[in-house]
Amino acid sequence: MGYNAEFRRSIDHPEEFWRDQAGAINWIKAPETIWQATDNGHGDWFPDGILNTSDIALDANVRAGRGEQKALIYDSPVTGAKRSYTYNELTAEVARFAGALAARGITKGDRVVIYMPMIPEAVIAMLGCARLGAVHSVVFGGFAAHELAVRIEDARPKAVITASCGIEVAKVIEYKPLVDKAIEQSTHKPEFCVVYQRPQAQAQLHDGRDFDWTELVAGADPADPVPVNATDPLYILYTSGTTGKPKGVVRDNGGHAVALKYSMKLVYDAVPGDVFWAASDVGWVVGHSYIVYAPLFAGCTTILYEGKPVRTPDAGAFWRVVQDHNVNLLFTAPTAFRAVRKEDPEADQLQLYDTGSLRRIFLAGERLDPPTYDWLREHTQLPVLDHWWQTETGWAICCNPVGIETLATKPGSATVPSPGYNVQVVDPGGSQLPAGEQGQIAVRLPLPPGCLMTVWENDQRFQDSYLNPVPGFYSSGDGGFIDEDGYVFVMGRTDDVINVAGHRLSTGEMEEVVASHPAVAECCVVGAHDDLKGQVPLGLVLIKDGATIDHDELEEELVEMVRENIGAIACFQRALVVDRLPKTRSGKILRRVIRQIADGEAYSVPGTIDDPSILEEINDQLHQ
C-alpha cells in the first residue's frame, strides 16, 4: 500500500488501522476496544489493553532471540568511556534497578523524577520505572535548581534519581547540590533520592534520605514487569508553554508503544538489528522516544552519546561515532549540523571516517533551514529527511513516509502528514485555509495514539491550551501552510515559545525572572534570529523611575538571574534598556514587531500602536 492509501485508511477507518498496528506489539492482554471518545473530542486508545512498556522494550526482544544482540551502546567522548549492553544484560540491569526501587516502596502510579546526564543509568532508571508501572519525569540536566523544583512541586515524586555530575565538554557540573537546592525550594519533599556516583565528582549523601545507586542495586532482587492498563501514564515530560509554569505532558503506555513501533517503520524504515542514533538528550522528547523507547521496541541497537557535535573533540565527532558503531540511521537537530558546518565548512572531517553504514539522516526539533539541508545533502550524498513533531505528540506529525513510500523532498517542508494526523491549516475562526495560505497548523481530532493524554493533574489547562482555541482540533501552536501537493511547511511558533538550539523555551518564563529584578519596571523577551542556534532570547527592559543602575551592570545581573533560575541552556545574553516598550492602545506589547526589528526584517507599523515613533527608537538602539 502506498502513502496515499495508507493515510486515507488511517483517517477514514482509524480503529481498523490502529487495531492492525496494535498487533505488532506484545500485549499481556490485547485490547478489544480500540478507541473510546471522551466528551471533549479527545479520548483513550486501547482502553482495555494490558501491557508493560519495559517488557516490550526488553524482555520481548530476549524472547524473540535477540538476547545477545547489543541493545545499548554508550559512547562518551567527554570521559573516554565506551560501553555496551546486550538485550540480556540491559534486561537484567533494569530488572535489578526496578527491584531496588520496589524494595524502597515504589509501586505502580508513583512518580519518580530523574535528573541525570547522558549515562546508561539514566536509561536504566527510565525503564526501571516503566517496569514497575511507576511514572517517570525526566528533567533535562541543563535546567537550574529552580526549574527542577517547579517540576518536583508539580509531579510530587516519591523519589528523585540523580548522578553526582554531568560533564559539559570539559566542565564538570555537580548535580547533587542542584537537587538538594530544588528539594529545599519545593514544598513537596520526596521520600528518598538515589545517587549514581561518577568518578568525576563525589556527591554528599544525606543520611536516611539519599542512597548510593551501586549499593542499593547490589542487594536487590530483580523485579518482573508489572501489568499496567494501556491508559495508565508511562511518563510526564514538562515542556515550555506560554506562561511561566511548564506543562506536564502525560503519555500513556499503550498508545505510546503502538505509535512508536509504527513510527520506526513509517518514518525511519528501521528493521530489527539496525543501529539507531538519536543525537539528543534523554531530557527531551526526542531522547524519550528515539534514544530510549522506540529503537528498543523495534529490536534495534540504540546509541547513547555523551558529547557534542563539535568540541568533543572536533567537528568530526558525529562521523566518528557513525564509523565506530556502524550507525545506520542518524537523527539530530539542524543546529547540530549548523555547528559542524561552521567549524568544518567543506566537511573535510567526513573524509576521515568510513560512514558507509549510514543510510539516512533525519532532522527535527526546529525548522530545517535550506542551507543546512543543501550542505548535508551535498557532502553526504545521503537522503536528508526533515520531520515535524512536538513533545505533545511524541512522534512525527509530518514526515517523509520512507517506510511505505519515499516521496520527493522539498527543502523547507517536513513533507506530508503521518498516517493518523489529519493536519489542516486554519484561520483563527477554525476555517480551513486554501493551499499556500499561511495560518495556524491544527490537527483534526482525534489525535492518533502516542499523543498526550492530558496535562498532568490539569485537564483544564489541557483543554484551554490545545482543544479550546479551535474547536474540533488540536492546536499545535505552530504556524505555516500546506502547498498544492499537500506538503506541509512549518514556519515557526505563533505563541511565546522560542526554539534555542533545538531546545524549546518560554519567553514568558524568562520575562518572569527579568521582571523580578528590583530595578526593572517592565520587560519583554523575544526570540531573535541566530545563525547557529536558530533563535536566542533578547530582553527589552524598562527601568523603574529613580533607579540608577548602570545598564551594563543590569544586563550582567539579568543574565546571571536567568542562568540561576532557568539554566545556562536558555542562552539569555542580551538585555537592552529602552525608554518605552511598543504597545497597542490596549496595552499589549508588540512582540512580533520587536522580533522583526531585531532580525532586521521589514515591518509594518500596526494601526493599533500607541506611539509609532518608539519603533524607530528601538531600531536605532538595536542596530546602532
List interacting residues with ligand COA (CB under 6 A).
Answer: 141-142, 166, 168, 173, 279-280, 284, 286, 308-310, 332-333, 335-336, 339, 365, 501-503, 532, 568-569, 571
Residue 586 burial by Cβ neighbours in a 10 Å radius (0-12, 13-18, 19+): exposed
Residue 439 interacts, among ligand AMP, ligand COA, none and using kind-specific CB cut-offs from 5 to 8 Å, with none
**CA dist., res. 435 & res. 483, Å (int):** 5
Q: Which of residues 487-516 bind ligand AMP (CB under 6 A)?
A: 490, 493, 499, 504
Residue 478 interacts, among ligand COA, ligand AMP, none and using kind-specific CB cut-offs from 5 to 8 Å, with ligand AMP
Q: Name which of 223 and 414 has its Cβ closer to ligand AMP.
A: 414
Is-contact 86 70, C-beta < 8 A?
A: yes
Q: Name which of 175 and 213 has its Cβ closer to ligand COA.
A: 175
What's the distance, CA 470 to chain centroid? 24
Binding ligand AMP (rule: CB under 6 A), the pick from 239, 465, 535, 565 is: 239
Is-contact 226 191, C-beta < 8 A?
A: no
Task: Kindly state the cell numbers that stand for 427.
Answer: 484561520
Residues in CB range of 378: below 8 A, 6 or more apart: none
Give the shortest CB-145-to-ligand COA separation in angstroms.
Answer: 12
Three-point CA angle 428, 433, 478, nearest 5° = 55
Q: Name which of 211 and 284 has its Cβ closer to ligand COA.
A: 284
Residue labelled with grid coordinates 500602536: 609
Q: Name which of 275 and 569 has its Cβ closer to ligand AMP.
A: 569
Q: Which of residues 8-37 bind ligand AMP (CB under 6 A)?
A: none
Q: Name which of 448 and 502 has its Cβ closer to ligand COA.
A: 502
Q: Name which of 411 and 606 has its Cβ closer to ligand AMP.
A: 411
Q: Which of residues 340-369 bind ligand AMP (CB under 6 A)?
A: 364-368
Binding ligand AMP (rule: CB under 6 A), the pick from 49, 248, 316, 477 is: 477
DSSP-derived secondary structure letter, 118? S
Please list the helix, strand and coil fractions of the chain in percent, rounded to the nearest 5, in that order.
Answer: 35, 25, 40
**CA dist., res. 549 & res. 560, Å (int):** 16
Give the shortest CB-295-to-ligand AMP separation in angstroms.
Answer: 18
Q: Name which of 336 and 578 has its Cβ closer to ligand COA.
A: 336
Q: Name which of 338 and 504 has its Cβ closer to ligand AMP.
A: 504
Three-point CA angle 346, 279, 423, nearest 5° = 100
Give the shortest CB-320-to-ligand COA separation in angstroms.
Answer: 15
Residue 499 interacts, among ligand AMP, ligand COA, none and using kind-specific CB cut-offs from 5 to 8 Å, with ligand AMP
**CA dist., res. 309 & res. 597, Å (int):** 31
Which element (helix H / strand E) includes 458? Answer: none
**CA dist., res. 42 & res. 615, Å (int):** 43
Q: Name which of 398 and 578 has its Cβ closer to ligand COA.
A: 398
Residue 285 interacts, among ligand AMP, ligand COA, none and using kind-specific CB cut-offs from 5 to 8 Å, with ligand AMP
Q: Which of residues 388-417 bind ligand AMP (CB under 6 A)?
A: 388-391, 414
What's the distance, CA 356 to chain centroid? 29
Residue 348 main-chain phi, psi, to 5 deg: -60, -35
Give the shortest CB-144-to-ligand COA separation in angstroms.
Answer: 9
Residue 568 interacts, among ligand COA, ligand AMP, none and using kind-specific CB cut-offs from 5 to 8 Å, with ligand COA
Binding ligand AMP (rule: CB under 6 A), the pick from 125, 226, 285, 482 is: 285
Three-point CA angle 198, 199, 201, nearest 5° = 75
**CA dist., res. 339 & res. 310, Å (int):** 7
Q: Name which of 142 and 190 has its Cβ closer to ligand COA.
A: 142
For 122, 137, 249, 252, the CA distances from 110, given in Å and listed in that order, are 18, 11, 16, 14
Give the shortest CB-81-to-ligand COA separation in angstroms.
Answer: 17
Q: Name which of 19 and 247 has its Cβ closer to ligand COA.
A: 247
Which element (helix H / strand E) includes 594? Answer: helix 591-598
Is-contact 385 444, C-beta < 8 A?
A: no
Q: Considering CB under 6 A, how many residues would be counted as binding ligand AMP?
A: 20
Q: Is 310 in the site for ligand AMP (CB under 6 A)?
A: no
Q: Name which of 272 and 486 has its Cβ closer to ligand AMP.
A: 486
Give the shortest CB-149-to-ligand AMP separation in angstroms.
Answer: 21
Binding ligand AMP (rule: CB under 6 A), the pick from 66, 158, 325, 387 is: 387
What's the distance, CA 2 to chain centroid? 30
Residue 603 main-chain phi, psi, to 5 deg: -135, 145
Residue 388 interacts, among ligand AMP, ligand COA, none and using kind-specific CB cut-offs from 5 to 8 Å, with ligand AMP
Residue 247 interacts, among ligand AMP, ligand COA, none and using kind-specific CB cut-offs from 5 to 8 Å, with none
Binding ligand AMP (rule: CB under 6 A), the pick from 55, 232, 274, 386 is: 386
Give the shortest CB-71-to-ligand AMP separation in angstroms.
Answer: 25
Bridge partners of 539?
Answer: 525, 575
Q: Name which of 47 and 365 has its Cβ closer to ligand AMP.
A: 365
Q: What HEC string does 363-413 produce? A: ECCCCCCHHHHHHHHHHHCCCEEECECCCCCCCCCEECCCCCCCCCCCCCC
Task: Kindly state the cell numbers that stand for 328.
Answer: 545506520
Largest CA distance in the chain: 74
Residue 367 interacts, among ligand COA, ligand AMP, none and using kind-specific CB cut-offs from 5 to 8 Å, with ligand AMP
**CA dist., res. 492 & res. 97, Å (int):** 41
Which element (helix H / strand E) includes 493? Answer: strand 488-493
- Residues in contact with ligand AMP by the rule CB under 6 A: 239, 285, 364-368, 386-391, 414, 477-478, 490, 493, 499, 504
